[in-house]
Amino acid sequence: MDFQVSEEMSVRLAMIDEFMVKEVVPLEAEMLHGDPETLDAGVAAAQEKVKQMGLWAPNHPVEYGGLGLSMVDHGLFAEAVGRSPLGMVVFGTQAPDAGNIEILHKYGTPEQKERWLRPLIEGEIRSCFSMTEPETAGSNPVLLAATAEVDGDDYIINGQKWFTSSADGAAFAIVMAVTDPDAPPHQRASMIIVPTDTPGFNLVRNVSVMGHAGSGHASHGEVIYQSCRVPRTNLLGPEGSGFAIAQDRLGPGRIHHCMRWLGIAARAFEMMCARANERVIDEDGNTLADRQVIQHWGAELDAEIRGARLQVLHAAWRIDREGAKAARDEISAIKFVVANTMLEAVDRAIQVHGALGVTDDTILAYWYRHERGARIYDGADEVHKTSLGRRLLRRYKPDVG
C-alpha cells in the first residue's frame, strides 16, 4: 500500500490549510454568536474565493468542474476542510448535497442532470435526502412505511420523514419510498426526485437537536408528504432499486464522513494540548500539561487518531482499486472506530478546557452537540459491529458435508 500524496495534491492541501485558518475558522464566531444573514454573506464570500482558487467542489465529476480526485485524495481533502463545521459548505462538498450529486451523476437521466445536477454542483441550489422515518427503524431501510403509488404518469407520495437534513431552503428532495410492497424486501423501495415547492411537500419543523433547531443547511427537517404528486420521470434508476442506490451512496460517503471526523479529532486534540500548556493550576506555575493524567490522554489520543486515520486511508485505497463492495469490511469498521475516536477527542478537549469547554466560547460544545449523532446516522455502531462480526465469523465456520 502506498499512500504517497502527489505533488499536485500536496499543493492543494497546503492551500486549503491556509485558507481554513485565515478565512473559514474566523467565521465560526458569527456561526455561534452572530446573525444568520451575516454568516451567510461571509460564507458566500469565502465560496467565491474558493472558486477563484480552482478548488470548488473538487470531488465532483470532472465534466461538471470537479477535479476527479481519487478516494484517498478526497479523504485527505475532507480531513483538511473538516476542521471547521463550515469547511464543507465553503468548498461546496457538504452533505447531503455531495451524496445526492453522486446519485444524480450515476443514475440521473440527461434531463434530470441538466435541471438538478448542474445547478446543485455550481452551488446555485441546495438539496435534501428524505429516507429516515420517525416510526420505523433507521437501521433497517426495508421497513420503510412511506409509499409512492402509481397514478397514470405520476407517483403519489404519502408518508412522514424526519432528519431530512437541510430541507429548510432546499430546492428538491430525493425521497426513498415503497413503490412495490409485494416485491422482495430489498426491491420494494425507489428513489424519486421531489421539488420542495410541490403541493403536498410539507416541511413541518426543523427538529431541535440538543436544544438547537438550526436553520438553512444546518438543520434537520421533519417532512410530511401528503398526496404529493410528481411525474414518474422523476424516478432515479430502475424502479425498486432504492436500497441498492442507498448502499451505493453510503459506502464512499463514509470515507468522506470519517475523514471529516478525523479533521475534527485533530483540531480538538490540538486545542486540548494548547489549553493544557497554558492553564496554570498552582502558585508554582505548573500547568495541566505537567499532570500525568493529561499526558496519558495526549499519548492515547494521538495513537488512536493515527490508527483511525490509517484505517480510513486503507479503506479508501481499497475502494480506489477494487470498489466499495470489496472494501465492505473496512467501511463497516471505520464507521464505528472513527466516530468514537472523534467523540473521545472532543470529550477530552472539553474536560481539559474545564468550564470554558461547555460554553460556546469555543467550537467544542458545538461539536459535542452536533457530532454525537455520528454513532447513529449512516448505520448505528451496533449495526456495523454486528454485520462485520457476522461476516468475519462465517469465514471461520467449518464446512459441513
Which residue is it, cell 494521538?
302
Check residue 401 and give its pLDDT: 56
Q: What pLDDT does 247 receive?
A: 81
Count of Cβ atoms closer than 10 Å to residue 277 Cβ: 13
End-to-end distance of the chain based on CA atoms, in angstroms? 39
Q: Which CATH class is domain 244-394?
A: mainly alpha
Level-2 CATH architecture, domain 127-236:
Beta Barrel (2.40)
Burial class (CB in 10 A: 0-12, 13-18, 19+), 397: exposed
- Is there a contact between 197 and 146 (Cβ–Cβ < 8 Å)? no
Contacts by residues 215-219 (CB-CB < 8 Å, ≥ 24 positions apart): 215/36, 215/168, 215/169, 216/36, 216/40, 216/166, 216/168, 216/169, 217/89, 217/94, 217/126, 217/166, 217/168, 217/169, 218/85, 218/166, 219/165, 219/166, 219/167, 219/168
Annotated domain spans of the chain: 7-108, 127-236, 244-394
Beta-carbon count within 10 A of 20 CB:
23
Helices (H), 82-158: 87-90, 97-107, 110-112, 118-121
Residues 336/384, Cβ–Cβ less than 8 Å: yes
CA distance 264 to 341: 10
pTM: 0.93
What superfamily in CATH does domain 7-108 come from?
Answer: Acyl-CoA dehydrogenase/oxidase, N-terminal domain (1.10.540.10)
Q: What are phi and psi of 146, to 5 degrees?
A: -60, 140
Q: Tell me, what's the pLDDT at 274?
A: 98
Q: What is the pLDDT of residue 300?
A: 98
Q: Please report, in tens digits, the pLDDT of each residue of the chain (401 residues total).
A: 777 889 999 999 999 999 999 999 999 999 999 988 999 999 999 999 999 999 998 888 888 888 888 899 989 999 999 999 999 999 999 999 999 999 999 999 999 999 999 999 999 999 999 999 999 988 788 899 999 999 999 999 999 999 999 999 999 999 999 999 999 999 999 999 999 999 999 999 999 999 989 899 999 999 999 999 999 999 999 999 999 998 877 766 788 899 999 999 999 999 999 999 999 999 999 999 999 999 999 999 999 999 999 999 999 999 999 988 899 999 999 999 999 999 999 999 999 999 999 999 999 999 999 999 999 988 899 999 999 999 999 999 987 65
CA distances from 162 to 165, 224, 246 (A): 8, 8, 17
CA distance 281 to 287: 5
C-alpha 209 chain-centroid distance: 16
The SS3 of residue 283 is coil
